[in-house]
Amino acid sequence: MYYQRHLENKIFSQSSRGKVKLLLGPRQAGKSTMLKHGLANTDKLFAVNLQDRRQRIKYEKNSAAFLQELEALEPGTTVVVDEVQKVPALFDDVQYMVDETPGRLDFFLTGSSARQLKKHSANLLPGRVHLFRMTPVVQAEQRDAVLLPLDMLDEQRFPCRPLAEVLIYGNLPGLYNESLETWKATLAAYTELYIENEIRKENVVNDMGAFLQFLKLAALESGQVVNYSKLANAIGISVNTVKNYYQILEDTYLGLRVSAFGASRKKIMTAPRFFICDQGIRNVLAELPLNDSLLCLDPGHLFEQFVMTELYHRCQYHGRACKLSTWRTVTGAEVDAIIETPDETIPIEIKWTDSPRGNDIRHLETFIDTHSNLADHGFLVCRVDRPRQLSGRITALPWNHF
């Protein structure tokens, strides 16, 4: 079954006609599936999948082949190139066609690694491209949301799943068309393919053993304040190497960096927090058990990661005007998430509790008191069954409603 994605509203809209559509995101986030569905009734379609080694070698051996094929296509043909970062030089051919024969062909390009595009100084088609970023499935694609809702088409949405399943297995779209018995194998295969195709084959690290150690530790530390020195000492590498490894995770869309809130009147901790993009991927990379015993170890940490990555992805879909940050003062006051939009600033605390009390919202109240010119209300995301008004300025929202 096909389930709709939020980006369908934008990538196939009239406003993107005549532009090259560049769709980036982690592997198996659903980029190719969405394009196949949206372009299923296209009469003239030319598709290239550079994950196919044979096609990749063809264009690497003959640099003129791709342009010659484009020139031979009929006007009005839709061109789809999957994993375009595998042969970044193809961007030059796309730009040539767009400049010389504007509107003749309609281009959709996908990629799962910005690193390779940067490394090869790929032509990112300034002024000619509309850039889209896809994430794993978010709750706001499954149901109506209070915080940063997403516009959805009137089609089949992904079904909502129990909280335990989301915390253990994450939200890759492919899981929704599989039985629960295969999810462990699917997630294990994902991590193996990521390491093999994005890291080993692309030669992005010199010491594969050190990177694999880092990958496990970074997953275990997911959601925590980044401590470069601690990780460097644990692995036996330099701090600069650790920073480079984190950048690799970001460039391949596996990692998410959440910076400190920048408009604070108090002295704050400026170190960022770092998250793995999906809970299931994180658990596999950290070599944690994918069963209910995981929820007994540290459910609050898992829950916080789930909500934070959800909010990060929603901000991403809303564009650059929407920002997610975190607030932590040197005196110990801390608010998990701060959402900044052009209209308001919203502090959000995340707690595993199903019976919130005044102590759970004291830092939210402190933030609002300190930033009364920016924020006048906040939210506690937790496991209550219905929204609750905890104070005049703080509302508790259920995990499946926020």
Greater model confidence, 125 or 316: 316
Residue from 318, 401, 362, 360 nearest 148 by CA: 318
Q: Is 2 exposed, middle or buried (0-12, 13-18, 19+ CB in 10 A)?
A: middle
- Of the candidates 245, 277, 258, 231, the residue with the CA atom closest to the CA atom of residue 115: 245
pLDDT tens digits, residue range 221-243?
A: 999 988 999 999 999 999 999 99
User: Mean pLDDT across the chain, nearest whole number?
Assistant: 91
Please give the Cα distance from 327 to 255 (Å, whole number).
20
Burial class of 13 by CB neighbour count within 10 A (0 to 12, 13 to 18, 19+)? exposed
Q: What is the mean pLDDT of residues 234-253?
A: 93
Contact 24, 114 (CB under 8 A): yes
Cα 270 to Cα 25, 258, 259: the distances in Å are 27, 11, 7
- Give the pLDDT of residue 291: 92
Q: What pTM value is reported for the model?
A: 0.93
| Percent of the chain predicted with pLDDT > 70 | 96
pLDDT, one tens digit per residue, over 181-192 is 999 999 999 988
Q: How many CA atoms lie within 13 A of 302 on its CB side?
A: 24
pLDDT at 15 over 80: no
Determine which of 41-55, 58-72, 195-209, 310-324 has the lowest per-residue pLDDT on average.
195-209
Q: What's the rounded mean pLDDT across residues 66-88?
A: 94
Return the domain boundaries, the chain: 8-133, 136-402
Domain 8-133 annotated CATH 3.40.50.300 = yes
- Decide if pLDDT at 107 tops 90: yes
* pLDDT score at 124: 63
Strands 394-398 and 378-382: parallel
354: left (phi over 0), alpha (psi -120 to 50) or beta: alpha
pLDDT score at 159: 93
pLDDT for position 205: 82
* Strands, E assignment, 136-272: 255-260
Model confidence pLDDT, tens digit, residues 114-167: 776 765 545 666 778 888 999 999 999 999 999 999 988 777 899 999 999 999
Measured CA to CA, the distance from residue 72 to residue 387 in angstroms comes to 59
Pairwise CA distance, residues 88 & 358, whole Å: 54
- Burial code of 139-162, b = ≥16 C-beta within 10 A, e = fewer? bbbbeebebbebebeeeeebeebe
